[in-house]
Structure 1
């Protein structure tokens, strides 16, 4: 059966949109006529994402107390993490492009049977639904923030930043509001797109490990003559996927480290803002509570997909053991035994030299956020 389906179906549209947001390499970008596409990301992000982030940190520095700083810090930290992700993908743009290109085109990853097509399409659609829902939730937070301030009695910005002119008047307010909307919309969508790409790298490799498990289990009743070519192909595929796992770790490590390390502070300052705000500002309260929910999901997703990769890879030992190996020749059994010995080295993604990407680090981050919040509330008293 020929491999006719799109192997990166879940992010085909995400890749296209990411190019227009200056987050993904264009094909044939090094040609003379395409040089504008190379500088386009800087033209787009420097006056909006980068400048808005700098203005938020200026506002933090100018704050007179913890409460005023907390109203800005939760978003200043969020966009700072987003900039780390952008700089990371710009720095590794060629590696990321080659990574996805290999997953899409290399013959070794070709699907071989109709049930594999069904399995692959189902999982890709599932990933697509999860991240479209996540992106919609993030956009809803931004829209709530943009619109709620228009119904306030006083002049307020959706997401506070330093404005270098007097904006709290009918003539100039909408200039400050409009820049805030443009910069934060770009930052919000860029953050979502980069989260989706980072999680997809881990998801796709986990899916390849699951595919190998399925192929090994399919050999349960297969005679040795039929099993040997399948095993040879699986050994080659496994070697390639292990190499891809290392590449994936390099690509996602800065993104996950920055997200996990700073997320505890982001959630802490967000909840502190809710405590200080009370019920006096309904729009701001709704925006912040939605933001906390989205932030928790944002931390959970890379931890979940990193955990799935580890679990799927470690299941290979059981899958090999469940083949029809007892009926194979001594030579084949020795080869399988050597393969199982090599599988004893656990496959784990590490975020830098700090921690393993998995569900335990998610729980630790939430616990840290609660501890920081309790400490901040006590200090403010």
Structure 2
């Protein structure tokens, strides 16, 4: 999650703030990598869509062009906020306030991390498999065809020149695909990690069920301090993930719409390979929208569930002073924890359902 994004120009390298030639190369590396591949490739895709002779021809390119437009938003966002992302990652890794205290917490954390890895290994593997299917499927067509259409400034429909256009298509699209899925994974991990911290707070509150007041009072203060820190991290996470989720949700309805339009005009018998690839692409796109909505929903749910965890403490046996402390904490919990995409909507499952509904409405129109 950290090594590969550094190699493909998303995150800061270690010691990037120091002086020297090697440090300077690290700073310009993302632009050297993405300018000739990602940005040039996306520009060529849009040029192909704009110069198409009719809407049907443009629709064959627009479904992917809009997808890559969302990628541009994600890249610019992570580059603009790369210092904030690096600081958040460093704090989550090294702040002693987040250290686990006992075997139960360690077991919970390790199981949680394994579940996240399992989901995203399937997501990353599935996305790369769809891209690979697109690269290979064109060889089963009778005519020369590119896996993902873009404007080629030379005649490529010949035996000698086809593989130049195909090779650039494969390299550029693989970089775009990796960038897209890894930026998705990073944003989802931030929300997942903070949701796990809220769950950890709930576990520590419930562990005070049978604790005497002398032991519970200092522990409650530590929990309140940690909660305040986690809420601050939630706001920092929102700044990082808000633009990318907003762009993903806004563009996804159009992407699914144009993908369905492409399937309708393609037909399985005429182009079986590309038809199957497009179906797989739509499935991956739906998962891509669902995952940030799911983890945003998890963060909100577990943050709001802390109110119930407070009632799990041994509060009936506490003194008036400790009860007042808990009462202040309950008032603090009344302020809901929400991760918003821009100023438009909360990141959660309702927006996922609304996006799918919008895609169907656009397609029906």
Structure 1 residue 339: Cα displacement = 0.6
Matching of residue 179 in structure 1 with residue 168 in structure 2: yes
1:142-291 equivalence runs, <5 A: 142-279=131-268, 280-291=270-281
Which residue among 318, 332, 338 is the counterpart of 1:328?
318
Question: What residue number does 2:341 align with?
Answer: 351
Quick one: distance in 1 between partners of 2:87 and 2:341?
A: 21
Question: What residue number does 2:327 align with?
Answer: 337
Question: Matched residue pairs, number?
Answer: 362
Structure 1 residue 48: Cα displacement = 0.3
Quick one: distance in 1 between partners of 2:317 and 2:310?
A: 14
Which residue among 132, 135, 140 is the counterpart of 2:121?
132
Larger displacement relative to structure 2 (229-238 or 357-366):
229-238
Structure 1 residue 205: Cα displacement = 0.4
1:285-337 deviations in Å (ceiling 9; x for gaps):
01100000000000000000000000000011110112100100100000100
Which residue among 7, 30, 36 is the counterpart of 1:47?
36
Structure 1 residue 30: Cα displacement = 2.1
Question: What residue number does 2:363 align with?
Answer: 373
Question: What residue number does 2:83 align with?
Answer: 94
* Runs of at least 5 residues in structure 2 that lack an aligned partner in the other structure: none
Quick one: distance in 1 between partners of 2:82 and 2:342?
A: 19
Query: What's the TM-score once normalised by structure 1's chain length?
Result: 0.94
Quick one: distance in 1 between partners of 2:34 and 2:279?
A: 28
Runs of 4+ in 1 over 6 A off after TM superposition: none
Quick one: distance in 1 between partners of 2:140 and 2:279?
A: 18
Larger displacement relative to structure 2 (25-34 or 361-370):
25-34
Structure 1 residue 151: Cα displacement = 1.7
Question: What residue number does 2:130 align with?
Answer: 141
Quick one: distance in 2 between partners of 1:247 and 1:322?
A: 30
Q: Give the RMSD, CA atoms, in angstroms.
A: 0.6
* Runs of at least 5 residues in structure 1 that lack an aligned partner in the other structure: 1-13, 376-381
Matching of residue 119 in structure 1 with residue 108 in structure 2: yes
Quick one: distance in 2 between partners of 1:272 and 1:202?
A: 34
Question: What residue number does 1:17 align with?
Answer: 4
1:191-210 deviations in Å (ceiling 9; x for gaps):
01000000001000000000
Matching of residue 26 in structure 1 with residue 16 in structure 2: no
Question: What residue number does 1:306 align with?
Answer: 296
